[in-house]
Amino acid sequence: VSSAAARMEVTAAYAEKHGVFQLFEGLLQSLIVTKPDDPIAHLIDLVSAPPKDTAQASKAPKGIPRLLLLGGPASGAEEVAAAAARRYGTVHVSASLLLQAAASRGTAASRALLPYMAANVSEVPSECLGPLVVDRLRSDDVRRRGFLLTGFPNNEAQCEFLERAGIWVRSTLLLDIDEAAAAHALIASRVDPVTGTEYHPDQVAWPTDPAVLERLVQHPSRAEAQVLASLQSWRASKAQLLAAFPDHIIVDASRPSLALEERLGAILLGKGVGP
């Protein structure tokens, strides 16, 4: 047997053992089906994803952070994520901030987003919000530093949107809060229309200046009917999200902000998934 033939036999054996041909077939099929705007970025996301099999996924090597932070009304997920991202050097990818930025660009596409600006981010259609999130997750700084994602996905359909785009998460954490406590936190809050500062009577920072107290108003989105409807919607969304990410971690959102930041930090730094 010639040396060339021997090398071909070794190559064929290697390809068969490691499923190389099936790998390339799967990648090509994904490109044809999803037709991503950036094929190379799509392929990188696919080949860097951990195995779907749970037993194999647990052995997947640690890498840059890919953390999904879930949280309903009054959970403080956006604020905690922003603080933790700054503290631990990862990128906070906020669906709500992406939506605001896109809607302010003054283009025809941005004008199509304006009707959703007054709505909760969970009510924005996947076809409007999904591409914004996926494009941000594929940006260079996210590839280098990892991400802490908030505000998307919000339901099963949006989870499927991310999967079709080849986007995966390494860890999922839910900031959970009792519905009664969430309702109280939202309905009792008041905002100063002059400064935009929000106050709550249970907080130490409740103003003492009579002029400020006199002008405090309830934000329209914090009216009881709207809050209860939002909590009901989140209840349904939470069930779908926890089913889609079964290896999630649940943390009490009422813990001090610093403790929550450090809990996220433990995940971002790859130091385990304890309580």
**DSSP conformation class of 274:** -
- Beta pairing class for 198-199 and 190-191: antiparallel
Confidence of residue 12 (pLDDT cuts 50, 70, 90): low
Please give the share of the chain, as a percent, with pLDDT higher than 70. Answer: 75
pLDDT score, position 273: 47
Under a CB-based contact definition with an 8 Å cutoff, are residues 259 and 82 in contact? no
Three-state SS for 61-111 is: CCCCCEEEEEECCCCCHHHHHHHHHHHHCCEEEEHHHHHHHHHCCCCHHHH
- Residue type at 207 in one-letter notation: P
Confidence of residue 30 (pLDDT cuts 50, 70, 90): low
Vertex 247: Cα angle to 251 and 143 (nearest 5): 90
Q: What is the pLDDT of residues 149-179, one digit of tens each?
A: 999 999 999 999 999 999 999 999 999 999 9
Q: What is the pLDDT of residues 200-218, one digit of tens each?
A: 988 878 999 999 999 999 9
Confidence of residue 53 (pLDDT cuts 50, 70, 90): very low
Highest mean pLDDT among 18-32, 91-105, 120-134: 91-105
Confidence of residue 64 (pLDDT cuts 50, 70, 90): confident
Cα gap 6→67, rounded to integer Å: 46
Given a cut of 90, is residue 223 above it in pLDDT?
yes
Cut 0.75: pTM above it: no
Output b/e per residue, 212-224; b: 16+ Cβ within 10 A.
beeebeeeeebee
Count CB atoms within 10 A of the CB of residue 175: 24
> For 251, what's the count of Cα atoms within 13 Å in the CB-facing half-sphere?
27
| Residue among 97, 238, 123 nearest 173 (CA) | 238
